[in-house]
Amino acid sequence: MRFLTLLAAFALSSCVQPPPSQPPAVAEPVPAPLAPPYPSWEQVAAHAPAPVAASSASFGWQLDAPAESQPLSGDATLHTLSVSKNGDSVDLQLVYFDSRSHQLKIIDQPDDGAGAGQITACMRRAGAIAGVNGGFFTPQFTPMGLMIANGRSTGAWQSNKLLTGAVVVRHSPQLLWNAEVRESRSARDLIQAGPRLVDSGRPVASLERSKHVPRTFIATDGSHRWIFGLARHTSLGELAEILATPELLPGFQVKRALNLDGGRSSAIYYRSADGREHSDPGWSTVRNYLGIVPR
């Protein structure tokens, strides 16, 4: 009897098959983003060399006279000054603004026959209180590199000896070098430009010094204070030295600065606190502008 019981138990166990083994779970591939999002200024600063304060004696540039200041609409300020070195003089118009109270915008200007004076109309339409010409453009009047204006993308990202940085705006603006700009989908405004002028408070080495033309640029203290402006008849190397000399710029120390399209494209616009408009449109029709709008 015991033998029959054991035999029955063995027969039952042979009929029960263990569940088939399941293959290891494989996660569905997730498309990788183009790259990580833009770093914050704190993250950028953590990987950058510590700023080195330069003195006016370092480069030889001196103020010819105290800077003149003029309040603009929306609490921005225009500073006008002249600096010189070895008998060469450079005149500058600098618009100071705070990104906590102003929005920085890329303003597209797609009409290749609009004329240089279009800067005034563009600033009015955007509600901007000040602005300068923006990035480079091709003979076909398309942006050189990537441009995003109010969320609309035109052109394509390029990385070369000229286009070495970008102005990037999400909730607030950033001035980033190419290696730090990883993707554009989260940007409301973006424009490529170059070359870099100042990095970590120091002038970038090996910039050209023989071509003296009007130049426009944008600069930041690495936080919420910004400058854009127009320098008349200077080289890239000289402009970098001027911007990296703290004693020359009233109450401002540049951490980073980026050159914009200059020469015949150089243009500046601002509206003074009394509402009057002032414009120096340059000579060429340009594809885009940088403007500031009070928040």
Residue 186 maps to a domain: yes
Q: What are phi and psi of 236, to 5 degrees?
A: -65, -45
Instruction: Please spell the DSSP secondary structure of 173-206, one letter per residue.
Output: EEEEEGGG----TT-SEEEEE--EEEETTEEPTT
Residue 98 maps to a domain: yes
Distance CA 142, CA 216 (A): 20
pLDDT of residue 48: 46
Residue 289 maps to a domain: yes
pLDDT of residue 5: 46
SS3 call for 168 = strand
C-beta separation of 147 from 288 below 8 A: yes
Parts of the chain with a pLDDT under 50? 1-38, 41-42, 44-57
Residue 106 maps to a domain: yes
Residues sharing a CB contact under 8 Å with residue 219, sequence separation 6 or more, in sequence order = 175, 197, 198, 226, 227, 228, 243, 254, 255, 256, 257, 258
Residue 17 maps to a domain: no
Residue 167 maps to a domain: yes
DSSP, res 113: T
Total domains in the chain come to 1
pLDDT of residue 215: 97
Residue 257 maps to a domain: yes
Domain enclosing residue 255, as ranges? 58-294
* CA terminus-to-terminus distance, the chain: 95
Residues sharing a CB contact under 8 Å with residue 222, sequence separation 6 or more, in sequence order = 41, 45, 51, 255, 256
pLDDT digits (tens, 9 = 90+) for 123-152: 999 999 999 999 999 999 999 999 999 999
Q: Where are the beta strands (DSSP E) in 23-134?
A: 62-63, 68-71, 77-85, 88-98, 102-108, 130-133
Distance CA 174, CA 194 (A): 15
Alpha helices in the chain (DSSP H): 2-15, 41-46, 56-59, 118-126, 236-243
pLDDT of residue 46: 47
pLDDT of residue 85: 95
Residue 25 maps to a domain: no
Beta partners for residue 145, in sequence order: none
Strands 173-177 and 165-169, how do they pair? antiparallel
Radius of gyration (Cα) for the chain, nearest Å? 28
Q: Tokens 């394509």 label which residue?
A: 156
In whole angstroms, what separates CA 12 from the centre of its chain? Answer: 76
In whole angstroms, what separates CA 207 from the centre of its chain? Answer: 19
pLDDT of residue 94: 98
